[in-house]
Each structure stands twice: as structure tokens, then as C-alpha cells.
Amino acid sequence: MEKLAIFDIDYTLTKKETSIELYKYMLKRDKSLIKYIPAHILTVLGYGVNVFDATRTKERFLKFLSGTNEEELKSIVRDFYRDHISNLLYEDGLKAIKEYKAKGYKVYLISASPEFYVNEFYNIEGVDKVIGTKFKMNDGKFEPIVVGKNCKGEEKVKRLMEELKKDNIEVDFKNSVMFSDSLSDLPLLQLAGTGYLINYNKKHDLKILRWK
């Protein structure tokens, strides 16, 4: 049986929220995207007062990529990871991945962020599987529509189990570990034998690690 080292991405491996960073990165490349700022502000406010759920919030926020063809999108996210996100990774997180990989664990990254760009985290040496929220491609062009469910909470467990079944992998969860910054990942934190909260600012029974 395999042991897993499971990592959330935003604020666990990265110092900032990646979707917002993607927009900021694209805005530097194309100043015309500034027109989306009012809609982004309304979307964030709507999420804060429960007008929009997490799925709808993601869909609204990513409208600035609507109609981008698949090859261009691949180029954008490749540059985004190389030029920006790779500089926002916690060194302690990268060290943990390396150490668990050396111990024989399979390293899984599971995020609520869009899979079309978190797939770039395969660039981290030792990562075996990346799972994120899936978005629609229509006739080779990006549509800001979530396919299936937002990969958060219990959905992360479901997606993990689907991937393990597909790859015919049996897991020793008792001796597996999970790292996250948020209690929204409690289903995964409880599934693993040992769960760690990263830079968490409240008291909790789970061990809290301070990553830099």
C-alpha cells in the first residue's frame, strides 16, 4: 500500500491566492483587462454576503479569460508559473515535498483552484498528481464554466478517491499526511493519519506549522 503526502496549494504551498495573481499577471500583459476590476470587486463582495457561492465566484472571476484558445492558454499559464508563481512558493513547502518523496510517499497536490493552471505545479520535482477544479473548453476555447463540482471540502476527498481508483492505487491513509492552511480541508485532514495546518492563526488540535 502507498502512503500519500497531500498538499493544498493556495496559502499552503503559495504565499498568495493564485487566481488573483493570475489576473494581476495578465493585467500587466494586457492593460485593457482593467475593465474587469469593477466586476471582480462586485464578485468578491457578492461572495462575502453569500450572493454567490464559491463555484459561481470562480466562474465570474475568470471571465477575463473567456474565449482564449487552448494553445494560448497553455502558453499563458506556463509563463505565469515560470515567471511569477514559482517565486511565491514557500521554501518549507518545497522542502516537505522533497523529504516525503525521499521517504517513499506519493505526493498529491489537491486544490480548489482551476486545474488548467495548477497543472503547472507538476514542475515541482517529486509531485505525482495534481488535482484541481475543472473548467470547460468549447471548440478549443476556454469558457469560465466549472465542469462537475468545485474541488473543495468533501469534493477533494471524492476527486482523490476517483484518481486512486483510476490509477489502481491502494493507500495506507493511517500513515499518510495532509497539509493545508484552511479548515475547509478538514475532510482530507481527517482522512490522513496526520494533518498539519500551515500558518494557521487560531488554536486547533491539529499541529500548526509556520512555513516561510
Task: List, as one string, the DSSP characters of 131-197.
Answer: EEEEEEEETTEEEEEEES--S-THHHHHHHHHHHHHTT--B-GGG-EEEES-GGGHHHHHHSSEEEE
pTM above 0.75, yes or no: yes
What is the predicted pLDDT for the residue at 200? Answer: 95
CA dihedral 75, 109, 11, 114 (to 10 degrees): 40
182: CATH: 3.40.50.1000
In tens digits, the chain (212 residues) has pLDDT values of 999 999 999 999 999 999 999 999 999 999 999 999 998 888 888 788 887 889 999 999 999 999 999 999 999 999 999 999 999 999 999 999 999 999 999 999 999 999 999 999 999 999 999 999 999 999 999 999 999 999 999 999 999 999 999 999 999 999 999 999 999 999 999 999 999 999 999 889 999 999 99
Which residues have a Cβ under 8 Å from the Cβ of 176 and sit 6 or more positions away? 3, 4, 5, 6, 105, 191, 192, 193, 194
- Domain hosting 89: range is 4-209
- DSSP letter string over 50-88? TSS-HHHHHHHHGGGGTT-BHHHHHHHHHHHHHHTGGGS
Q: Which residues contact 175 (CB under 8 A, 6 or more apart)?
A: 3, 193
Query: Which residue type does 13 have?
Result: L
The tally of domains found in the chain comes to 1
For the beta carbon of residue 176, count every other beta carbon within 10 angstroms. 23
For 131, other C-beta atoms within 10 Å of its C-beta total: 22
